[in-house]
């Protein structure tokens, strides 16, 4: 029963972490390309009607909302999968501790993958071109493409991080089993 409660707690925490990740991620990408938001994301999330560039009095607050809305849901599959993997651990305390570390690993991998996407977008895609529908009135096309690439890579990083986090959790279980076997052998 305690492990089931921990599973639900892990999912809830992962949802919050997913949203916070999106807020931080989007604050960074807004700094690189405000146009990505004012000419794309704000419309994509229904915060403005299509037309002229979306200008808000407090754009960073709106960017935070977009960031949260764009990523909170990634916490559901990450928390659910890592939480289910965590059920293999010997007790609820170990399950919680190892699964939270696995979630942190997932976030780190997603962020690093996003940075790789940013570099790829800036160094390759901006020069080679993309087949995305770009706004007609872009001023800084290079950074718009770089940020778009970072966003796409970050989702891939979430999936890759989920795999890394799962492997971490399974390895911790294996280490625990080996320690337990050595303790039983020495008795």
How does residue 172 score in pLDDT terms, banded at 50, 70 and 90?
very high
CA distances from 29 to 23, 85, 103, 128, 154 (A): 10, 32, 22, 21, 12
Counting the structural domains of the chain, the total is 1
Q: What digits encode the pLDDT tens for the residues 30-78?
A: 999 999 999 999 988 988 876 666 788 899 999 999 999 999 999 999 9
Q: Does this model's pTM top 0.85?
A: yes
What is the predicted pLDDT for the residue at 185? Answer: 77
Residue 24 burial (10 A CB sphere; 0-12, 13-18, 19+)? middle
What is the predicted pLDDT for the residue at 23? Answer: 98
For residue 51, the tally of other CB atoms under 10 A from its CB is 7
Average pLDDT over all residues of the chain: 93
Average pLDDT over residues 78-94: 96
Per DSSP, the residues of 115-159 read HHHHHHIIIIIHHH---S---TT-S-HHHHHHHHHHHHHHHHHHH
Average pLDDT over residues 99-122: 98
109 pLDDT higher than 90: yes
Per DSSP, 73 falls in state G
Residue 49 burial (10 A CB sphere; 0-12, 13-18, 19+)? exposed
Q: Name the 3-class secondary structure at 79.
A: helix
% residues pLDDT > 90 (the chain): 80
**114/124 Cα distance (integer angstroms):** 15
Q: Which has more confidence, 119 or 90? A: 119
Q: What digits encode the pLDDT tens for the residues 119-146?
A: 999 999 999 989 998 988 899 999 999 9
**86/106 Cα distance (integer angstroms):** 14
187 pLDDT higher than 80: no
**149/138 Cα distance (integer angstroms):** 16
Q: Which has more confidence, 88 or 47? A: 88
In this structure, the dihedral spanned by the alpha carbons of residues 38, 55, 136 and 134, taken in order and rounded to 10 degrees, is 10
The domain containing residue 154 runs over which residues?
A: 2-186
How does residue 84 score in pLDDT terms, banded at 50, 70 and 90?
very high
């Amino acid at each position: 029963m305690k492990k089931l409660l921990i599973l639900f707690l892990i999912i809830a925490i992962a949802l919050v972490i997913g949203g916070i990740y999106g807020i931080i991620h989007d604050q960074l990408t807004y700094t690189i390309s405000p146009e990505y938001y004012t000419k794309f994301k704000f419309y994509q999330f229904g915060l403005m009607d299509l037309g002229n560039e979306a200008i808000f009095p407090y754009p960073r607050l709106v960017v935070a909302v977009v960031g949260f809305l764009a990523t909170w849901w990634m916490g559901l599959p990450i928390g659910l999968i890592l939480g289910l993997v965590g059920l293999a651990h010997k007790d609820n305390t170990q399950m919680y501790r190892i699964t939270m570390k696995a979630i942190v690993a997932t976030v780190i991998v997603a962020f690093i993958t996003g940075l790789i996407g940013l570099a790829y977008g800036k160094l390759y895609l901006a020069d080679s071109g993309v087949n995305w529908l770009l706004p007609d009135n872009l001023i800084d096309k290079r950074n718009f493409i770089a940020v778009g690439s970072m966003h796409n890579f970050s989702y891939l990083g979430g999936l890759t991080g989920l795999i890394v986090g799962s492997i971490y959790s399974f390895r911790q279980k294996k280490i625990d089993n080996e320690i337990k076997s050595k303790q039983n052998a020495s008795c």
